[in-house]
């Protein structure tokens, strides 16, 4: 939704300036006076300004803020506090001013006759689609407090999933950076001083020493390449990921690489089972459930599988039967648990178990990632420094041999 900047006057005659979201200028003209101010001028923000202001308005708003808001609102509604009163009380306790402005705007829209879920949808930049959908279901069923509690649990699991992935990547990232830094220090600073001595000797240098000197000279003369190269690789991957055709091959590689596939696969399965659980428990239809999941899943291979599964279900297949057709993505345990859930009528319970299982498995993988990566890093470092030592010792051995003769 576009942003508009306005200049207005309040009842005390003070000139105030503000920022508001709306469909068009006419809508803004109708809504702002209800807040007790008189509009002097209003104009739509430019594209660049619009992007910047939207970014500013979400600064500091984190997932934990959304989880806390959902929990607090659920508790207050369950205690019998009216929705508007609850929103007003919660907004007074929020420290982040940008988030507080969002809650105040939601309250104002509800006062003007908008539903809670519709007011949330205006701020879809901070409230995920699943939050808005489940809030709508809660309004329809009259159990908004229950829906908000379920949302808080779901978002906390998603936050745990994100943290587990971060923990899994910390050690490999640290190991790669430190190893590369140590290697560049040797190549750029240490080796030139040592190899300079070899060059002044009247000794035929071995091939490995010549290669070492050439590598050292290249590194010293083109050190900036080692800084630009990661940036170029990252930018290239980002550009390739924008096209589904190229992203498909990248995502396929992620699912096949020995260690990375443990993180990616468990993450996707945890996301699939958790999203399915919360959406089916809320009463959404299977096709709507899969539509939401397809938007959330960022892996093209998994997304295409979900599209095929949805099509099979719509023509009469069970979920377990449709999932079973993709054994490279869904292990037998998932198919078996979903089948049991369909047979016994407690599918959400089985999905809940699977969600917790894959979250725990991902957490275990993140904790063991260091031990899995460590042998590879040690072997790589050992090989590099073995070549360096051989390159340094070989000419010394030849020199000693010549002097001995």
pLDDT, tens digit (0-9, with 9 covering 90-100), for 149-167: 888 888 888 888 788 777 7
Reported as a single tens digit per residue, the pLDDT across 23-71 is 666 665 555 554 556 666 776 665 555 544 444 455 668 888 899 999 9
Q: Which stretches in the chain have pLDDT values below 50?
A: 34, 51-56
Specify the pLDDT at position 51.
46
Specify the pLDDT at position 5.
67
Q: Is the pTM of this model over 0.85?
A: no
Q: Is 338 found in the same domain as 290?
A: yes
Reported as a single tens digit per residue, the pLDDT across 178-215 is 877 877 787 777 777 776 666 666 667 777 777 877 87
Q: Is 345 found in the same domain as 230?
A: yes
Look at the chain and report how many structural domains it folds into: 3
User: Burial level of 59, CB count in 10 A (0-12/13-18/19+)?
Assistant: exposed
Specify the pLDDT at position 52.
44
Q: Is 183 found in the same domain as 42?
A: no
Q: Is 336 found in the same domain as 196?
A: yes
Q: Is 199 found in the same domain as 138?
A: no
Q: Is 272 found in the same domain as 240?
A: yes
Q: Is 138 found in the same domain as 26?
A: no
Q: Is 159 found in the same domain as 77?
A: no
Domain residues for 17?
A: 3-56
Q: Is 300 found in the same domain as 179?
A: yes
Q: What CATH number is given to the structural domain containing 257?
A: 1.20.81.30
Q: Is 361 found in the same domain as 246?
A: yes
Q: Is 149 found in the same domain as 161?
A: no
Domain stop point among 153, 180, 210 = 153
C-alpha–C-alpha distance, residues 405 and 143, integer Å: 95
C-alpha–C-alpha distance, residues 287 and 313, integer Å: 8
Domain stop point among 56, 86, 101 = 56
Give the CA distances from residue 235 to residues 189, 230, 245, 255, in Å, rounded to whole numbers and listed in that order: 29, 8, 17, 21
Domain stop point among 30, 56, 82 = 56
Q: Is 99 found in the same domain as 28?
A: no
């Amino acid at each position: 939704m576009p942003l508009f900047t306005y200049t207005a006057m309040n009842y005390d005659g003070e000139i105030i300036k503000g920022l508001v979201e709306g469909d068009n200028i006419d809508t803004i003209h109708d809504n702002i006076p209800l807040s007790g101010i008189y509009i002097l001028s209003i104009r739509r923000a430019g594209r660049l300004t619009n992007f910047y202001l939207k970014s500013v308005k979400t600064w500091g708003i984190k997932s934990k803020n959304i989880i806390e808001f959902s929990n607090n609102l659920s508790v207050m509604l369950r205690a019998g506090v009216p929705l508007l009163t609850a929103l007003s009380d919660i907004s007074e306790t929020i420290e982040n001013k940008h988030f507080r402005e969002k809650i105040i705007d939601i309250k104002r829209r509800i006062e003007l006759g908008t539903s809670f879920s519709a007011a949330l949808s205006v701020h879809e930049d901070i409230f995920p689609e699943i939050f808005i959908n489940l809030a709508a279901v809660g309004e329809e069923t009259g159990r908004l407090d229950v829906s908000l509690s379920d949302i808080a649990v779901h978002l906390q699991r998603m936050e745990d999933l994100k943290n587990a992935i971060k923990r899994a990547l910390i050690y490999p990232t640290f190991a790669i950076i430190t190893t590369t830094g140590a290697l560049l220090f040797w190549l750029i600073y240490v080796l030139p001083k040592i190899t300079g001595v070899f060059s002044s000797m009247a000794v035929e240098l071995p091939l490995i020493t010549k290669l070492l000197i050439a590598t050292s000279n290249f590194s010293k003369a083109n050190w900036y390449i080692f800084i630009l190269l990661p940036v170029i690789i990252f930018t290239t991957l980002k550009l390739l990921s924008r096209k589904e055709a190229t992203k498909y091959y990248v995502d396929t590689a992620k699912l096949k690489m020995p260690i990375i596939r443990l993180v990616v696969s468990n993450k996707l399965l945890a996301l699939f089972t958790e999203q399915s659980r919360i959406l089916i428990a809320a009463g959404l239809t299977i096709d709507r459930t899969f539509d939401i999941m397809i938007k959330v899943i960022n892996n093209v291979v998994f997304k295409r599988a979900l599209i095929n599964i949805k099509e099979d279900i719509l023509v009469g297949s069970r979920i377990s039967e449709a999932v079973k057709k993709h054994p490279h993505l869904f292990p037998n345990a998932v198919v078996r648990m979903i089948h049991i859930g369909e047979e016994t009528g407690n599918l959400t319970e089985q999905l809940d178990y699977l969600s917790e299982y894959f979250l725990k498995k991902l957490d275990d993988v993140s904790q063991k990632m260091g031990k899995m990566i460590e042998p590879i890093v040690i072997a790589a470092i050992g090989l590099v420094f073995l070549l360096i030592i051989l390159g340094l010792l070989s000419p010394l051995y030849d020199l000693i041999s010549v002097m001995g003769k």
